[in-house]
Structure 1
Amino acid sequence: MAEAHQAVAFQFTVTPDGIDLQLCHEALRQIYLSGLHSWKKRFIRFKNGVMTGVYPGSPPGFMVVVVSYMSYNKYHKLDPSLGMFAKLNGKIYTSYSQKIVGGVLVGTGLWITIIFIMRNALKCLLSWHGWMYSRHGSVSLGTRLWMLLVKVFSGRKPMLYSFQNSLPRLPVPPVKDTCRRYLESARPLMDDEQFERMKGLAKDFEKNLGPRLQWYLKLKSWWASNYVSDWWEEYIYLRGRGPIMVNSNYYAMDFLYVFPTSIQAARAGNAIHAIMLYRRKLDRAQIKPIYLLANKVPLCSAQWERMFNTTRIPGLETDTIQHMNESKHIAVYHKGRFFKVWMFYDGRLLLPREIEQQMERILADKSEPMPGEEALAALTAGDRTPWAKARDAYFSRGKNKQSLDAIEKAAFFVTLDDTEQRFVEKNPIKSLDSFAKSLLHGKCYDRWFDKSFNLIVFKNGTMGLNAEHSWADAPIIGHLWEHVLSMDPFKLGYTEEGHCCGEPHPNLPGPQRLQWDIPAECQDVIQSSLTIARTLADDVDCHSFPFNDFGKGLIKKCRTSPDAFIQIALQLAHYRDKGKFCLTYEASMTRLFREGRTETVRSCTMETCTFVRSMIRDETVREERLKLLKEAAEKHQNMYRLAMTGKGIDRHLFCLYVVSKYLGEDSPFLKEVLSEPWRLSTSQTPLQQVELFDLVRHPEYVSSGGGFGPVADDGYGVSYIIVGENLINFHISSKHSSPETDSHRFGGNIRQAMLDILDLFQLDKKAIK
């Protein structure tokens, strides 16, 4: 095998004439180039660390400050060391070299002081969120002045992590305010008796246990970077003992209407190369920070740190996240076999055609899976504790450990799927539903669900992602996916035959087949996990559909927030679907703060319920419905603002509950609040890099977004992406086992609710388009 020859740098034999040494010059060359690549990467990381550490200062700024300081002192004939050396040496006059050293030291101190002032001034400025309450399209003079100051103190040419030290900490809201907002959100879901009881529990908590728990929480907020994120990661994700497949992992879809190539290996070649280019930009901190408000307000970038070379490692009681600083290979699965594929050769990243060449070799490999190998990844799809025990018992030594390390330490995981998935215009519902289910869980053993993300390339060239949730939230993986989809057809492209551009490499070593020795006992555990996973997967009812009757362009004509419009439509659809309201979760981000992740917007408000009831009652006039709709939309927008600015409800209550458990205190109020099921869980997938896609000239290049599994056994999971001006893609999930839910029925209710709400405005859609 070619890779075996390349692995040996030299050979020697002992003969009567002495030692016969034979050096393999190609192997030594590869070792030299690999080491050179590693040192370059270390230098870049060191340089970026320095640049980020001194931001908004910079080396040129340092030179300007030091030279200016020394020139000023020379012109005015002052001691640049401010008498420091004179005191040390006991002399009035210092030598020229001492003046230089003293000037540099004092100038450096002055430069550091300026950085400190700028950084803290920016932190104070970013702590003000009044700009969020400005009316759309109008900016007050105060906000304009604030934006100017933010720009002045933000420095020039920031890198991805430049603003991390300037972001404010997430504030801890007062217990009284959180309890009040909770009761307000719970009122539409309770009758008078239930609500009075809950008011009593909240009042008792607010008066007695709450202040004590709050004291510990404030102490943590002063000490830690973020008082929520580490506990959220640990207790919501890593301590869960159930399957992460469906329950936690989520997916992202390919283009909806465009199929760049039907050659599986070629699509994988371009996609893998684009992902590796993104990783290189990430390593070099060349990805631009994400902003709000006309590129003025930076968001936290901490979640990008673990995108690659990351795996969730199972444990008996809690999982851990393993992140490698560097990984030069990927792991690939095809028809029950695992392969290790190096991504570098000759000291450079493999080109798309070369990666396609590697994928072709895997597809052409006719070898059979080893005993237990085909369904091995089902361990990552089942319960966590059996997987942790099996990992410790059967994968902690020998060839099994080496092969498992190759997967867990890979940059990411690739599945060359042997099924075909894509959107079919003649059968849109069935084709998209099948596509969504395949990305969400596949066959339950052909994705490594523990990896930070899986790239899935289907037999007909369609592709998608499946991502693990604990390390980051969907917008982070969405940013990567936008990069890949924009690079694939536009910048990398394909030949007329559908292959990647370029030529195969004549001497490229082939993929390495991973070896396993899986005993019968372990195979029993694998089959047990597979049974659990299949039961879970078969129960998922997925429905994905493009809503193209209208989009955000027409909604904005109604002077209504598109997100509020959709959320209110979801409440109307749910009421028609089940005949009742339910506790509703909408994900919002808190990345305006350092290491922020998400907060909950409780979308089922009194105002929204009032509007929904008006739509159900035929006697309500249109003008009244419009008035109620405006009130509901404004309420929703205000709730969203509160969530984004650290004044949400659920993360604060969650952390108070964690503190109560550490103290051994029992709170009936917190216990009841946190046990309430989210029967409608919703999330918007943001389109972040709009400039990458020219949807005016090429409206067909739209992604279908992504989705996730249902949170409650008798509830719905709804994800949506607003694409361009005229399209909204919905992804709905529920469980077949629940007699209350039906994803297709709910999808029909969503479509009708959207149309009914738009009809209130009596707009001529065709004329506006």
Structure 2
Amino acid sequence: ICNMEKQVLESSEERTFQYQDSLPSLPVPPLDESLSKYLDAVKPFLNQEEYQRTEDIVQKFENGIGKELHQKLLERAKMRRNWLEDWWLNVAYLDLRISTQIHCNMGGPGPYIEHCWPPKEGTQIDRACVNIWHTLKYWDLLRTEKVAIERSGNTVLDMNQFRMLFCTCKIPGLTRDSLGSYFKTEAEGECPSHLIVLCRGRVFAFDAMHEGSMLTPPEIFRQLTYIQKRCYSEPDGPGLAALTSNERTKWAELREYLIHLDPKNLTLLEKIQRSLFVVGLDDSSPHATPEDYTELTRLGLTGDPTARWGDKSYNSIFFSNGTCSAFCDHSPFDAMALITMLSYAEKKIIENEGRWKGSDNVRNIPWPEELVFTVDTKIMNEIGCTKELYYKKVSDLQLVSYAFTSFGKALIRKRKLHPDTFVQLALQLAYYKCHGRPGCCYETAMTRRFYHGRTETIRPCTVEAVEWCKSMLDPSESNYQRLQLMHKAFAKHNKMRKECENGKGFDRHLLGLLLIAQEQGLPVPELYGDKAFTASGGGGNFVLSTSLTGYTRFSGAALPMVQHGYGFFYSIRDDRIITSCSSWKSCPETDAEVLCRTLFQCFHDVLQLIITAQL
């Protein structure tokens, strides 16, 4: 009877991936709905005459080629559970030929400086081994499917992205990259269990398991200390990891060259690809305070290119003053999967006061092995050029990451407003103040209630938002009028978010129709060549590229989508809002620092408006 009880117990516990097969397919929205939403979205960027022209183009599209393409898209959707998945992976990530490490990777600072681990020299390895151990525990939970299934209300969300956190790597190709993922659950079979450590231009590997059980923090400490001692007492290595920061075709050619130079190099590259994740030991000591994450965020995102493997789905970078950062290739997952894992580790670190409270016993485990690549003068020269190019590019980046500490989610909710919408509309106002015109904006919505769903675009720069911004800047407007317009703008944004999360956005739909046309060898429909399409952000032209990193202590950063744009990440906590804003110094009209400071003023303005109007 005990055995039966045990079985019942086990089967009543949800397994991480158990609902994957019962998730609904990604829907294709009706064509007329998508097109009317599109027309609404382009309005703020056109005058009457231009809008009239766009309306004609859209109508022609809807009754002509658009109808045919939509039919073909519906047929594609019948054949697969997610009609967008392969397309999105290719078009948004794997087909890109620019340096994805610089332009597409995402990163974020560890918030440990706020509690257990203030910056302190000499703590790098101590903290790294505790952090790594908790991350390995999470890997173990995933392997045994004990990671809690995420839900939105009562709706189960797709958990597929979590498989990509470990043992996943992008592999450069001459015209298109590919994604290698070697993770397996226990039920599925063997899974790689080694870690890669990058330090002073050298590459080391060691297994995270020994005789069937995981290495403990003291054992990881022994391995990392061995690596560091060797690197500090011997000459620097070639810094091969820097090559991942190249433009993709160039990196693919160099990788081919490396393999021809010595087939052993392929074995070593595969060892990096298959590894659990990459640990980077970086010699810098970024300044960081709970109110100012700027330097830590900047170095996490664009620091030493030899201490990170840009194609790896997860790099955990530890700096010499005990601060740390995550750095990830964006193609296999979106930020929220990463944040869920990092929040788990943070919770455990806080529970244990940042220390290891178990046994200090260290087993006799094999020392780390160094992965020594065969290189020649050509490769050495290429590494040199790559580093030079990398530093030149990232030195053009302006990035600030500040905490707004006057209020946060608690007060915004108390005023019955949605915190995310609050930030987005304040950002619209800040952009309008800085630039004197509406800023087309991309906000990420997640579509994970559908099978393998990832994202849809919310476009926060609505007619309603612009009307409200104008009223805020018009001294003759009454507060009552401003408040009415604000509530309209809030309602519109909340409605759009809901629609996007339910697969009723229009950006991915329009992309699908364009890709069908391309696959059929048809000319690009006029809709996509129209000024309105680009001016409103279509085709990757959003001047504000934004993302909420949730309601946790983790904030992130990403680079602008366009040369004259901004990257804007924010996390909203009970008592504060952490923002990261990036722009390019070489663009005279953008200034991340100014936009961020203006935004903080706008937070006050919006709250003030509500308070004044409610008196």
TM-score (norm 2): 0.92
Aligned to 1:233: 89
| Partner of residue 226 from structure 2, selected from 361, 368, 384 | 361
Displacement of 1:609:
0.4
Decide which moves more: 408-417 or 515-524. 515-524
Secondary structure, counterpart of 1:554 in structure 2? helix
Moved more, 752-761 or 296-305: 296-305
Question: Cα distance, 1:194 vs. partner?
Answer: 1.6
> Shift of the alpha carbon at 1:646?
0.9
Is the Cα–Cα contact under 8 Å of residues 206 and 368 in structure 2 kept in the other structure?
A: yes
Q: Which of 441, 447, 454 lines up with 2:308 in the alignment?
A: 447
Matches within 5 A, 1:582-597: 582-597=439-454
Alignment-derived partner of residue 288 in structure 1: 148
Structure 1 residue 611 corresponds to structure 2 residue 474? no
- Give the match for residue 515 of structure 2: 658
Q: 2:77 matched to 1:221? A: yes
State the partner residue of 1:260. Answer: 117
The Cα shift of 1:531 comes to: 3.1
1:135 corresponds in structure 2 to none
Q: Match for 1:378 among 232, 242, 266? A: 242
Provide Cα deviations, 1:611-661, integer angstroms capped at 9, x if missing partner.
000000011111111111111000000011111111101000011111110
The DSSP-based 3-state class of the residue aligned with 2:352 is helix
Structure 2 partner of 1:7: none
Is the alpha carbon distance of 1:676 and 1:247 closer, same or farther for their aligned partners in structure 2, counting shifts above 3 Å?
closer
SS in 2 for 1:387: helix
Of 328, 336, 339, the residue aligned with 2:193 is: 328
Instruction: Tell me which residue corresponds to 1:172.
Output: 28
| Residue aligned with 2:611, SS | coil
**Does 1:473 find its partner at 2:306?**
no
Which protein, 1 or 2, shows the higher relative CO under an 8 Å CA cutoff with sep ≥ 6?
2
Distance between the aligned counterparts of 2:448 and 2:294, measured in 1?
A: 32
Matched residue type, 2:30: P
Which residue is equivalent to 2:139? Answer: 279
SS of equivalent residue, structure 1 residue 246:
helix
Q: Give 2:164's aligned residue.
A: 306
Classify the secondary structure of the residue corresponding to 1:522.
Answer: helix
1:406, distance to aligned residue in structure 2 (A): 2.3
* Partners of 2:238 and 2:380 within 8 A in 1: no
Match for 1:539 among 396, 401, 420? 396
Q: For 2:327, what is the secondary structure of its paired residue? A: strand
Per-residue deviation, residues 129-177 of structure 1 (Å, max 9, x unmatched): xxxxxxxxxxxxxxxxxxxxxxxxxx95321112222211111112111
1:472-530: CA deviation from partner (whole Å, max 9, x where unpaired): 100001111101111223237427xxxx7532525232211111221112223323332
Equivalent residue, structure 2, for 1:269: 129
Q: C-alpha distance in 2, partners of 1:650/1:755? A: 32
CA distance in structure 2 between the partners assigned to 1:244 and 1:599 by the alignment: 21
Pair 1:518 & 2:518 matched? no
8 Å Cα contact 1:229/1:596 also seen in 2: yes
- Cα distance, 1:675 vs structure 2: 3.5
User: Would you say the 8 A contact 2:549–2:570 is kept in 1?
Assistant: yes
- C-alpha change, 1:284 and 1:460, in structure 2 (3 Å) is same
Alignment correspondent of 2:187: none
Deviation of the 1:538 alpha carbon:
1.0
Show CA shifts across 1:278-298 (max 9, x none).
Answer: 0110011101110111xx211
Whether the 8 Å contact between 2:297 and 2:325 is mirrored in structure 1 is: no
The answer to whether the 8 Å contact 1:375/1:530 transfers is no
Aligned 8 A contact 2:196 2:275 in 1: yes
Match of 2:3 in 1: none
Task: Please tell me whether the aligned partners of residues 337 and 368 of structure 1 are also in contact (alpha carbons under 8 angstroms).
Answer: no
Structure 1 pair 494–462 and aligned structure 2 pair: CA distance change class (3 A): same
Asked if 1 retains the 8 angstrom alpha-carbon contact of 2:105 and 2:328, the reply is yes
Give the superposition deviation at 1:569: 0.1
- Distance across 2 between alignment mates of 1:704 and 1:312: 25
Structure 1 segments unaligned to the other structure (5+ residues): 1-57, 62-154, 689-702
For 1:318, the aligned partner's letter is R
Which residue, 565, 588, 606 being the options, matches 1:715? 565
Identity of aligned residues (%): 30
Mapped partners of 1:506, 1:301: distance in 2: 36
Name the counterpart of 1:726. 575
Find the counterpart in structure 1 of residue 177 from structure 2. 319
| 3-state SS in 2 of match to 1:721 | strand
Tell me: CA distance 1:537–1:231, structure 2 relative to 1, closer, same or farther (3 Å). same
Q: Kindly state the Cα deviation for residue 388 of structure 1 after the two structures are TM-superposed.
A: 0.5
1:356 is matched by which residue type in structure 2? F
Structure with greater Cα Rg = 1
Counterpart in the other structure of 1:755:
604
Give me the whole-angstrom Cα distance separating, in 2, the residues matched to 1:403 and 1:247: 26
- 2:73 and 2:312 map into 1 onto residues whose CA distance is 32
Q: What CA distance in whole angstroms lies between the structure 1 residues aligned with 2:353 and 2:332?
A: 29
- Whole-angstrom CA distance in 1 between matches of 2:508 and 2:471: 32
Q: How far did residue 403 of structure 1 move?
A: 2.5
The correspondence for 2:67, drawn from 190, 206, 211, is 211
Cα 1:552–1:346, aligned 2, differ >3 Å: closer, same or farther?
Answer: same
Q: Determine if contact 1:334/1:416 at 8 Å carries over to the other structure.
A: yes
Verify the 8 A CA contact 1:586 1:601 in the aligned structure 2.
Answer: yes
Q: Does the C-alpha gap of structure 1 residues 358 and 331 become closer, same or farther in structure 2, counting only changes over 3 Å?
A: same
Over the residues paired in the alignment, what is the CA RMSD in angstroms? 2.1
Give 1:462 deviation, angstroms. Answer: 1.1
Aligned with residue 243 of structure 1, among 93, 99, 107: 99
Q: Which residue of 2 aligns with 1:191?
A: 47
Q: Give the structure 2 partner of residue 348 of structure 1.
A: 213
* Matching residue within 312, 332, 344 for 1:483: 344
Q: Please say if residues 413 and 448 of structure 1, whose CA atoms lie closer than 8 Å, have aligned partners that are also in contact.
A: yes
Give the stretch that moved more between structures: 161-170 or 486-495.
Answer: 486-495
Q: Describe the shift of the 1:501–1:742 C-alpha distance in structure 2 as closer, same or farther (beyond 3 A).
A: farther
Distance in 2 (alpha carbons) for counterparts of 1:342 and 1:228: 37
CA distance in 2, matches of 1:180, 1:484: 44
The TM-score with structure 1 as length reference comes to 0.74
Q: Secondary structure at the match of 2:195?
A: strand
| Aligned equivalents of 2:32, 2:494: Cα separation in 1 | 22
Task: State the Cα deviation string for residues 442-496 of structure 1 (Å, max 9, x = none).
Answer: 123321010011000111111110011100100001111101111223237427x
Matched to 1:381, the amino acid is: S
| Aligned counterparts of 2:351 and 2:294: Cα–Cα separation in 1 | 28
In the alignment, is the contact (CA less than 8 A) between 1:259 and 1:461 conserved in 2? no
Quick one: distance in 1 between partners of 2:529 and 2:234?
52
The corresponding residue for 1:557 is 414
Q: Find the residue that maps to 1:395 and give its secondary structure.
A: helix
Which ranges of structure 2 fall in alignment gaps of 5 or more residues? 1-5, 184-190
Shift of residue 302, structure 1, vs aligned partner? 1.3
**Contact kept in structure 2, 1:542 and 1:743, CA below 8 Å:** yes
> Following TM superposition, by how much is the alpha carbon of 1:704 offset from its aligned partner in structure 2, in angstroms?
4.5
Partner of 1:693: none
Query: Can you list the C-alpha shifts for 1:253-312, whole angstroms capped at 9, x where unaligned?
Result: 11152243741111111111111110110011101110111xx21111111122211110
8 Å CA contact 2:545–2:568 kept in 1: the answer is yes
Task: Give the corresponding residue for 1:668.
Answer: 526
Q: Which runs of 4+ in 1 moved over 3 A?
A: 58-61, 366-370, 396-399
Q: Helix, strand or coil: the match of 1:708?
A: coil
**Residue in structure 1 matched with residue 202 of structure 2 by the alignment:** 337
Which one of the candidate residues 237, 254, 267 is aligned to 1:402?
Answer: 267
Which of 482, 491, 509 aligns to 1:634? It is 491
For 1:402 and 1:659, the matched residues in 2 are separated by: 39
| Residue 248 to residue 614, structure 1, CA distance change in 2 (3 Å) | same
Determine the C-alpha separation between the residues in 2 that align with 1:309 and 1:622: 55
Structure 1 residue 229 displacement after superposition: 1.8
Specify the alignment match of 2:480 in structure 1.
Answer: 623
More displaced 10-residue stretch of structure 1: 412-421 or 516-525: 516-525
**Counterparts of 1:524 and 1:669 in 2: how far apart (Å)?**
46
